[in-house]
A and B are shown apart, each in its own frame.
Chain A
Amino acid sequence: MSDEFLKIVSKEYNVKILWDEYRKVLEEFRRREEKAREIRRKHADWDFINKQPEPIRSALKILVETGDIKLASMISGLKVGIIDEYRRKAKIPYTII
C-alpha cells in the first residue's frame, strides 16, 4: 500500500492532507522508530519470548520489531490487552517516539 491510498481516502472523505508536513512526519517517524527498535531488542527477555507457544511468540517478535501492538494483534488474532500482558512479562518496553 503506497501513499496513493491516503490520497484516495482523503479525497473520498473530502479531507485536506498537509502533504509537506506528512512527509516530514514520515521521515521523523522512520528515524525515531529505528532507534526505538534497538531499545526494544536490547531490553526484551528473549528466553521468555522464545519459550512462548504460538501465536504469542510471533506476536511478541512483531511487537519488538515494529512497536505496533495493533499490527501484532491483527496478525496473531490475539487481543491487544492480552499481548500487552505478555509484553510486560517479556520486558519489552513501551517506547514513545
Chain B
Amino acid sequence: MSAVVDACFFINWSQFKQRDEIFKLFRTLIIPEIVLDEIRSSIARSYLYLLAYQRRVSIAPRVGVVDREALKLFTLINSSSTLPRIDEPESYGLALALMLRLPFLTDNAAPRLATRYIKYLREAKVYDSLIVLKMLYKGKELITKVKEYSDETGVIFSEERLQEEGIK
C-alpha cells in the first residue's frame, strides 16, 4: 500500500533518525506535484532526492478531476471560522488520497478534524506523525520513539493528543 503525503508531515518526518521505518507500513510515498514547492528545508529536500533515487517516492501530477474535489474540500474546511485552515496543496493531497482510497499523512490538524464532522470524509484515513509512530511501535518502545521523534523534529504532541492514542 502507498500513502499520499503532505509537506508538513514530510518535512517533520525527514528529520527523524528512524525515518526509513515508514516503509514498513507503506511501499511508496506519493507526493502531489503541487506540494513539492512547499518542501524547502535542506534536510527534507535531501531526503526527497534520496527517496526519488531509491524509487520509494512518486510525484502525482496535477489533474483537473482531483483539483475539483480539492477545491470543494478547501472551501468546506476553510468555511469554519474557528478551526485550523487547510491550504491548496494540502486539500489537493487529501482529495487525491480520498479518490485513491489511500491514507493521507499530514501533521496539520485541519484534515483530521474534518473527518469527524464532514460525513463523507468519515471513511478517509488521515494520519499524523503520532498515528504513524503508533502503527510502527508498541508498548515501551512507542513511548521511547515518541520522545525521540519530538527531540529530533521539534514536534510537540499535546497531552490530550497523546491520551487519545493511549500513549499517556
Contact = CB atoms under 8 A, between A and B. Distances in A.
Interface of A: 1-3, 5-6, 8-10, 13, 15-19, 21-22, 24-26, 28-32, 35-36, 39, 43, 67-71, 73, 79-82, 84-85, 88, 91, 93-97
Contacts of A36: 156, 158
B79 A5 contact: yes
Nearest to A43: B156
Contacts of B75: 9, 13
B143 interface: no
Q: How large is the interface on B (under 10, 10 to 19, 20 to 34, 35 or more residues)?
A: 35 or more
A69 B39 CA distance: 14
Interface stretch (B16-24, B48-56, B59-67, B84-92): B84-92
Interface in B81-131: 81-87, 107, 109, 113, 116-120, 128-130
B158 A95 contact: yes
B105 to A, nearest CB: 13
Contact of B7 (A6, A22, A68, A80): A80
Contacts of B113: 25, 29
B72 A13 contact: yes
A2 B81 CA distance: 6
A9 B76 contact: yes
Contacts, number: 127
Given A29-B83, A68-B85, A70-B86, A94 B156 contact: yes
B153 interface: yes
28 contacts: A1-B81, A2-B81, A5-B79, A5-B81, A8-B79, A9-B75, A9-B79, A10-B79, A13-B75, A16-B119, A18-B117, A25-B117, A26-B82, A32-B161, A43-B156, A68-B85, A71-B85, A79-B37, A81-B7, A81-B41, A91-B154, A94-B107, A94-B155, A95-B155, A95-B157, A96-B107, A96-B129, A96-B161
Contacts of A35: 158-159
Chain A contact surface mostly: helix
Interface in B127-168: 128-130, 153-161
Contacts of A13: 72, 75-76
A22 B154 contact: no
B162 to A, nearest CB: 10
A32 B158 contact: yes
